[in-house]
Chain A
Amino acid sequence: MSENVTVGQAFQQGMREEMGRDETIFVIGTDLFIRGGHFAQVKGIGPEFGADRVIDAPISEAAMVAAGVGAAMNGMRPVVDLNFMDFAFGAMDELVNQAAKARYLWGKAVPLVVRASSGIALYAAQHNNSLEAWFMHTPGLVVVMPSNPADTKGILKSALRGEDPVVFFMHKRLTGARGETGGPDDLVPIGKAAVVRPGRHVTLISSGIVVQKAVKAAEVLAGDGIEVDVIDLRTILPLDIDLVMESVRRTGRAMVVTEEPPYASVASEIAASIQEEAFDYLDAPVARITAAHAPIPHAPQLMEALLPQVEHVVQAVRGSISRWPSSEEV
């Protein structure tokens, strides 16, 4: 509780505490029992809880997720660990047609957590897909994306005590990010965003690893006298649009930063919602700062060239203020 741990360790803490509290919780995935997963996310939990609670699966995401769905429908609370979110493609029917629809069709709850490491890092295109929009787009799924240890642990607890199928995104590059965590009953609610750095002039909306870039951009802009309200969404769906709108109504200027490719991104959904609901409060069009529309390549220089960096965010804010100055004395 409240020590300085990594995101990976925070997830372990959460799993350990919840599995101790509720014997219907188990984990299934590849290389979990001994290795603890490809990101050490459940390291040590296998030997501690036994092979019935940490189940090594063959390489079949379809089987893992189907096992999770069926088990969730028969009294358990499974965590399916896909290791890499890119492997979800092999379980798309299980996630979208099975897990997401049982409640709507039958009133049958599927209390399932599907965790995977996500986001842009290494290993090139097939291991660097951004799937948050795919799952946000699927009625029946809940999608979360914590960006720090406290939220990782707290949101995991909320997911494990909830009644919905939750797709749990953890950015690969955040695995080692450090911070404090809460205690055994400190739940972070799903569906609530957080302001990580307050400001009066611009609302900057981010999630996952991009939160760090947004904060760095805010620090640079503070030197210009521009104060940025940085929002960490924490949950993709249900989206905390109320908190976003409250900020935009104050600042009059909104930008969404994401690692996703641009078309039909989560950022697009947020931008559309803001201009629909806060039009009379805007001084400028809502901007999306996204990655480029390309698969992710291997060479780091190529990869970084596709992604939005701190300076892109800074330039976008400055450019917006220059082109559409604020209408209010702030």
Chain B
Amino acid sequence: MTETRAVAGPDELIEIQLDGVPLGDLEEWLETMLLIREFEESLEPLTMSGTQIPGSVHQASGQEAVAVGAIRALEPQDLVASPHRPHHHALAKGMTARVVMAELWGRTTGCAGGRGGTMHLNDFSLGYFGSNGIVGAAIGIAMGAALAAKLRKTGQVCVGFVGEGGANTGRTWEFVNFAAMQKLPLIAICENNQYAVETYIGRSAALVDSIARRAEGFGLPSVQVDGQDVCAVYRAVHAARDRAARGDGPSFIEAVTYRYRGHNTGEVANYREQDEVEQWRRTKDPIERLRRALESAGLVDQGRFETLEENARAAVEDAIRFADESPVPDPATATERVTALPVDAKGPAQ
């Protein structure tokens, strides 16, 4: 069954319903989404200074509900792998702002010791099986991990994220098909923020209204949800998780979302109108929608909300300071840990 995209009036915030979600956890959801927003919004100047974050990064401001809604529907032992725009997934999976920020800065205290950067975050102890610079690859990793989970009977469910751009690669569907055939405990989540770098989905796919329908064609239960509604995302992933845990195989969830920022920091976006961005903010901002619903339900008042905002700001400031004070990796270690078997690395210093 597919849902159609919500249609909004030009100025109204479209409200969400708190159905089918654990109400006691929602304040934490909000806090995490605020942390993600604060984190992502802090990055632009850090990448532009030339002395802090080397290179550019891909912010997910506006996509907080997809990460939090999906990952809060999982159990602690479940695994997540994501593509090149991963900070929100990593933070939602439980990684601290400090280790993510330090990794972006290339410091030894980063989650990959400074070796990975923004596109190669990881924390296997938390079940975060890495972010990946190759679109579609995360679904492959999650699919393989799901195969192991099935063979070893670990009870894990594995989530792989892909964008709508990555959903045009053959590998995405090779992985999905294999998972379906093997009935693997996989959830493939297509985070459709409608722009692949600069290309609007309408210009890259004939079946523009639904990516979920493609997955149906491969035999998976597939659904399209409002990715700016954290509860809708939660409900869809929760159902998919139940299905996978029962042994009924993988599901495909297309979460329609929006990124407020460009493809990466420092981008000058000429491919879309600012009006469009503003309209998405006004009508479907995921944080504002959750806040409004929590306020209406008497669960979080304005004062509490401002405290949560302040917590998020403090956490990100702390993370920036932490990264700034962390050591850079020792150049002498650059050739370590290539393979377990020793291979003469040779190179310029020999």
Residue of B nearest to A139 (CB): B338
**A60 lies within 8 A of chain B by Cβ:** yes
A70 adjacent to B115 (CB under 8 Å): no
B-side contacts of A230, CB under 8 Å: none
Contacts of B50 in A (CB 8 A): none
Q: Which residues of A contact B339 (CB under 8 A)?
A: 103, 140-142, 164, 238
Bound complex: CA A71 to CA B142 (Å): 9
Among A6-14, A104-112, A146-154, A205-213, the stretch in contact with B: A104-112
Task: Report how far A75 CA is from B113 CA in the complex, Å.
Answer: 23
**In-complex Cβ contact of B344 among A60, A101, A104, A238 (8 A):** A238
**Interface residue? A74 (CB, 8 A):** yes
Q: Complex formed: what's the CA distance from A191 to B338 in Å?
A: 15
B348 within 8 A of A: no
- Chain A residues closer than 8 Å to B133, beta-carbon distance: 97
Identity of the chain A residue whose Cβ is nearest the Cβ of B339 in the assembled complex: A164
Q: When the two chains form their complex, are residues A63 and B174 in contact, meaning their CB atoms are under 8 A apart?
A: yes
Decide: B341 and A74 in contact? CB cutoff 8 A.
Answer: no
- B170 interface residue per 8 A CB criterion: yes
Q: Once the chains are docked, how many angstroms separate the CA of A98 from the CA of B177?
A: 20
- For residue B181, which residues in chain A have a CB less than 8 angstroms away from its CB? 58
Q: Is B341 within 8 A of A67, CB to CB?
A: no
- With beta carbons under 8 angstroms apart, the residue of A67, A109, A162 that contacts B144 is A67
Q: How far is the CB of B222 from chain A (nearest CB, A)?
A: 18
Given A63-B175, A105-B116, A105-B122, residue A98 in contact with residue B340 (CB < 8 A):
no
Inter-chain residue pair count (beta carbon < 8 A): 146
Are A55 and B341 closer than 8 Å at their CB atoms? no
A3 within 8 A of B: no
Say yes or no: A108-B340 contact (C-beta < 8 A), given A70-B143, A70-B146: no
Which of these, A58, A94, A140, contacts B140 with CB under 8 Å? A94
Binds A, one of B83-91, B147-155, B275-283, B289-297: B147-155
- CB contacts (< 8 Å) of B137 on chain A: these are 66, 93-94, 97-98
Tell whether, in the assembled complex, residue B116 and residue A66 are in contact, meaning their CB atoms are under 8 Å apart.
Answer: no
Distance between Cα atoms of A103 and B115 in the complex (Å) = 11
- State in angstroms the CA–CA spacing of A241 and B143 once bound together: 39
**Which A54-74 residues have a C-beta within 8 angstroms of B?**
55, 57-58, 60, 62-64, 66-74
Interface residues of B in 146-181 (CB under 8 A from A): 146-149, 151-152, 154, 156, 158, 170-171, 174-175, 177-178, 181
Task: Tell me, yes or no, whether B320 is within 8 Å of chain A by CB.
Answer: no
A52 near B151: Cβ-Cβ < 8 Å: yes
Chain A residues with CB under 8 Å of B174's CB are: 58, 60, 62-63
Contact residues in A for B148 (Cβ distance below 8 Å): 70-76
B120 — which chain A residues lie within 8 A by C-beta?
101, 105-106
Q: What's the minimum C-beta distance from B164 to chain A, rounded to whole angstroms?
A: 19
Other-chain residue from B115, B145, B171 in contact with A62 (beta carbon distance below 8 A): B171
- Tell whether A274 is near chain B: CB-to-CB under 8 Å: no
Q: A70-B143, A162-B341, A237-B343 are in contact. Are A57 and B178 (CB under 8 A)?
A: yes
Q: How many whole Å from A110's CB to the nearest CB in chain B?
A: 10
Q: Which bracket fits the contact residues of B?
A: 35 or more
* A26 at the B interface (CB under 8 A): yes
Max chain B CB contacts within 10 Å: which of A69, A72, A73, A162?
A73
Task: Indicate which residue in B132, B151, B171, B340 contacts A71 across the interface (CB closer than 8 Å).
Answer: B151
B142: min CB distance to chain A, Å: 6
A284 interface residue (CB < 8 Å to B): no
A102 adjacent to B177 (CB under 8 Å): no
A293 to B: closest C-beta gap in Å: 26
B144 near A62 with CB under 8 A, answer: no
Contacts of A78 in B (CB 8 A): 144
Q: Which of A58, A103, A237 contacts B340 (CB 8 A)?
A: A103
Is residue A190 within 8 Å, beta carbon to beta carbon, of the partner chain?
yes
Q: Would you call A86 an interface residue if the criterion is a C-beta within 8 Å of the partner chain's C-beta atoms?
A: no
Given A60-B177, A105-B115, A67:B147 Cβ within 8 A? yes
Q: Nearest residue in B to A66 (C-beta to C-beta)?
A: B140
Chain B window 16-48, contacts with chain A (Cβ cutoff 8 Å), 1 for yes, 0 for no? 000000000000000000000000000000000
Task: Say whether B182 faces chain A, with CB atoms less than 8 Å apart.
Answer: yes
How far apart are A52's CB and chain B's nearest CB, in angstroms? 6
Indicate whether A72 sits within 8 Å of B342 (C-beta atoms), given known contacts A63-B178, A93-B134, A104-B115: no
A180 on the B face (CB < 8 A):
no
**Cβ of A292 to closest chain B Cβ, rounded Å:** 29
Residues of A within 8 A of B132 (CB): 98
Asked if B130 is an interface residue, CB under 8 A from chain A, the answer is yes
A17 contacts B by Cβ under 8 Å: no
User: In the bound complex, do residue B122 and residue A108 qualify as a contact, i.e. CB atoms below 8 Å apart?
Assistant: yes
Q: B340–A109 contact, CB under 8 A?
A: yes
A72-126: which have CB < 8 Å to B? 72-76, 78, 93-94, 97-98, 101-109
**Residue A163 at the B interface, CB < 8 A?**
yes
Instruction: State A52–B342 Cα separation when bound (angstroms).
Output: 33
Q: With A71-B151, A97-B134, A238-B344 in contact, do A106 and B146 touch (Cβ < 8 Å)?
A: no
Known: A62-B140, A66-B171, A107-B337. A71 touches B147 (CB 8 A): yes
Choose among A66, A101, A103, A105 the residue that contacts B175 (Cβ–Cβ < 8 A): A66
| A60-B178 in contact (CB<8A) | yes
Residue from A67, A76, A78, A238 whose CB has the most chain B CB atoms within 10 Å: A67
A68 touches B151 (CB 8 A): no
Identify which of B134, B149, B178, B342 contacts A238 (C-beta below 8 A): B342
Per the bound structure, the CA–CA distance linking A78 and B133 in Å amounts to 24
Q: How far apart are A189's CB and chain B's nearest CB, in angstroms? A: 9
Give the 3 A-B CB pairs with smallest separation, nearest first.
A70-B144, A66-B140, A74-B148
19 cross-chain CB contacts under 8 A: A60-B178, A62-B140, A62-B171, A66-B137, A70-B146, A74-B152, A74-B154, A76-B152, A98-B141, A102-B130, A105-B112, A107-B337, A140-B338, A141-B339, A142-B339, A142-B341, A191-B341, A238-B339, A238-B341
15 further A-B pairs in the complex, CB-CB below 8 A; given A58-B177, A97-B133: A55-B182, A60-B174, A74-B129, A74-B152, A74-B154, A78-B144, A98-B137, A101-B120, A105-B116, A105-B120, A105-B130, A106-B115, A106-B116, A108-B122, A190-B341
